[in-house]
């Protein structure tokens, strides 16, 4: 079988659903998987490495990336700009790596418009009640903050339903099962007719 | 997670591609998978059991099944009729079983028209050269018969490409890998947004 090009994998889902845990387990299962590295206008923090944690760019350079359509998505957050460099993602995919993007529904919408063959996954907790338990269990957030997060989660559910581009839902009851399902999705997507149809023309 | 309804899984592919071997391995991996049982007008052979090997019906009964749209597909083969009973398939799916149908592209076309959410898989050998080797290796077929099978395989490739409904291609180089990929496809299909979206409305 010929070496396949990697795919872009977009994962969204409410904060507290356990995305990072599931992704960490998935990365233990597969070598051909990496995170995207974002471009940002914020200053590097001590210990952060350019090209590994972020690509640190000036506001001018960032604006130029936006203008030249060099970003798959971008957003501003507390005065700093963040974006996903298209070239970086495409290069890793060419190397056969699946590139993971952990972003909110609005960012996912931008990415999907530019990369319609991305694998679009929405990851949720087993229930909102369970999400509330998890957020309370952390013991780090005030009651008001937790209420805010739950409202945000509900809004994201509604956005995800209306978005129409999510292909898969992962229910994170057990992170190991969730990682196994994500692994299966990546394997299944490599078996797509569109990915392999050339074999039907090779005689 | 709630008990999910099973899916109809249609597998096509040239004779000699190794469908039965791959399916046998897949069945070792999963309990929730069964073959469909066909209705036929041919007489039972010694040892065959009605309702297990086939549903044995009269020509009259078969014609009535066709008229009442009780078959997902049907065909005549050396004077006998064969068909897939819709009710049997739906009932097993309700029980949570994935139901396998091993049929040619023309039959798959009939099934897909009636069950558009079936999982449609085309299984091929690594190459036609390899298919030829396998057919010769059996030592059971004449050269002419092998040439006929290869021509038939080529025709099926072309039919599969034109059909437009196959979602996945499995390349059977190693039957264990092929079974693993089919297993992953079934898992991934259970994660489909359409299968799980109700969780986004449960508050």
Ranges of chain A whose pLDDT falls below 50: 1-2
**Across the interface, do A188 and B202 touch by the CB < 8 Å criterion?**
no
Largest CA distance in chain B: 65
> What per-residue confidence (pLDDT) applies to B2?
46
* Contact in structure between A157 and A105 (CB atoms under 8 Å): no
**Across the interface, do B188 and A192 touch by the CB < 8 Å criterion?**
no
* Residue B51 CB coordination number (10 Å): 9
pTM recorded for the entire structure: 0.92
Percent of chain B clearing pLDDT 90 (strictly above): 85
**Across the interface, do A169 and B122 touch by the CB < 8 Å criterion?**
no
- Please list, residue by residue across A20-41, b when 16 or more beta carbons sit within 10 angstroms of its beta carbon and e when fewer do: eebbebbeeeeeebbebbbbbb
User: Which residues on chain B place their C-beta less than 8 Å from a C-beta of chain A?
Assistant: 1, 122, 124, 126-128, 154, 157-158, 160-161, 166-171, 173, 180-181, 183-185, 187-193, 195-197, 199-203
Q: What is the mean pLDDT of residues B117-140?
A: 91
> What per-residue confidence (pLDDT) applies to A1?
42
> What per-residue confidence (pLDDT) applies to A139?
79
User: What is the complex's ipTM, to 2 decimals?
Assistant: 0.91
Instruction: Count each helix (H run) and each strand (E run) in chain B, helices first.
Output: 8, 9
Of B167, B181, B199, the CB nearest to A193: B167
Tens-digit pLDDT profile for residues B151-187: 999 999 999 999 999 999 999 999 999 999 999 999 9
Tens-digit pLDDT profile for residues B49-94: 999 999 999 999 999 999 999 999 999 999 999 999 999 999 999 9
> What per-residue confidence (pLDDT) applies to B203?
66
As a whole number, the mean pLDDT across chain A is: 94
Query: What's the pLDDT band for B138 if we cut at 50, 70, 90?
Result: confident
pLDDT > 60? residue B96? yes
Tens-digit pLDDT profile for residues A42-89: 999 999 999 999 999 999 999 999 999 999 999 999 999 999 999 999
> What per-residue confidence (pLDDT) applies to A3?
66
> What per-residue confidence (pLDDT) applies to B20?
93
Test mutation, A14, A191, A192, chain B, max B CBs within 10 A: A191
The torsion angles phi and psi of A73, rounded to 5 degrees, stand at -160, 160
């Amino acid at each position: 079988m010929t070496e396949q090009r990697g795919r872009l994998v977009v994962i969204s889902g409410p904060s507290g659903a356990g995305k990072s845990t599931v992704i960490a387990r998935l990365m233990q299962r597969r070598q051909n998987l990496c995170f995207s590295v974002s471009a940002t206008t914020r200053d590097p923090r001590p210990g952060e490495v350019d090209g590994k944690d972020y690509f640190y760019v000036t506001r001018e350079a960032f604006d130029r990336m936006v203008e030249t359509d060099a970003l798959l998505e971008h957003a501003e957050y507390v005065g700093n700009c963040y974006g996903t460099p298209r070239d970086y993602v495409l290069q890793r995919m060419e190397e056969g790596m699946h590139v993971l993007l952990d972003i909110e529904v609005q960012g996912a919408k931008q990415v999907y418009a530019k990369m319609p063959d991305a694998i679009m996954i929405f990851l949720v907790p087993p229930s909102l009640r369970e999400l509330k338990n998890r957020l309370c269990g952390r013991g780090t957030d005030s009651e008001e903050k937790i209420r805010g997060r739950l409202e945000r989660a509900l809004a994201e559910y509604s956005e995800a339903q209306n978005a129409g581009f999510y292909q898969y839902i992962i229910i994170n009851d057990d992170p190991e099962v969730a990682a196994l399902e994500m692994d299966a999705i990546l394997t299944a997507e490599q078996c797509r007719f569109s990915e392999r149809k050339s074999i039907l023309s090779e005689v």
